[in-house]
Amino acid sequence: MSLARYLARLGYGPRKACERLIAGQQVRSASGAVLRDGDPFAHDDVRVDGAPLDPPPGAVVLLHKPVGYVCSTRDRPPLVYDLVPPRWLVRTPVLATVGRLDADTSGLLLLTDDGPLNHQLTSPRWHLPKGYDVTLADPLRGDEAECFASGTLRLQGDDEPVRAAILTAHDGGQVRLTISEGRYHQVRRMFAAVGHHVTALHRATFGPLDLTGVNIGSWRVLAADEVRALREAAQSAARAAKGAR
């Protein structure tokens, strides 16, 4: 693939615009050498106006989503894409969110342009655990953990009960709920089903990942070993779920 076409796929502009960037000597190697369109190149060695390239194709990005931001490419702002370089929206393919967090929920959100991986992480049959820190309007009664762990709780409007979930209490009135599915507004609806109102919701973990070192509104690209661990966790969860049937 030519350098201009590669830059275009990363969202740096139409191919002709990327050719002009190259012709204007705005695209160089890390050592400062001018790159031409036909030159061989490595993603990590390319600089545009002195800056490293955006995440390469197949990357997975971890974003610390603030409250108020919407997981959509076309909706009323603010969007989660307002927190990342605007080029990400015109990449081919786009760096899409892995599932969604509603506007009133903060926390760990993944984005990737790897379609099969996105499907693997969001498909109901993979059962990858996700942990949510929950603030409730009223204290726990004491029977909620047993109810959630039973796998018999039915949500209003759903035919099937939710899968078993793990509830643990935190200091300061918060609780952690770990679920392995992704139904619509599931955490809020689970607590509503046992008589509780959720006043704040934050996704703290996604499989083996957490938000350590990532400030709210910031993001980072996952390392190759983290992506590998994420895939392995999804596959392991799927095998465990299949064996439990």
Q: Are 82 and 103 in contact (CB under 8 A)?
A: no
Phi, psi of 142 (to 5 degrees): 125, -15
Pairwise CA distance, residues 130 & 209, whole Å:
9
CA dist 203 and 105 (Å) reads 7
Q: Which of 44, 82, 102, 104 is catalytic?
A: 102
Instruction: Answer left, alpha or beta for residue 7, where phi above 0 means left and psi between -120 and 50 means alpha.
Output: alpha
Q: Can 133 be counted among the known catalytic residues?
A: no
Q: Would you tell me how many other CB atoms lie within 10 Å of the CB of residue 149?
A: 13
Q: Please give the radius of gyration of the chain, using alpha carbons only, rounded to the nearest integer.
A: 21
Instruction: Give the whole-angstrom CA distance, residue 32 versus residue 37.
Output: 16
- Please check whether residue 186 is in contact with residue 100, taking contact to mean a CB–CB distance below 8 angstroms: no
Q: Give the residue numbers annotated as catalytic, written as ranges.
A: 102
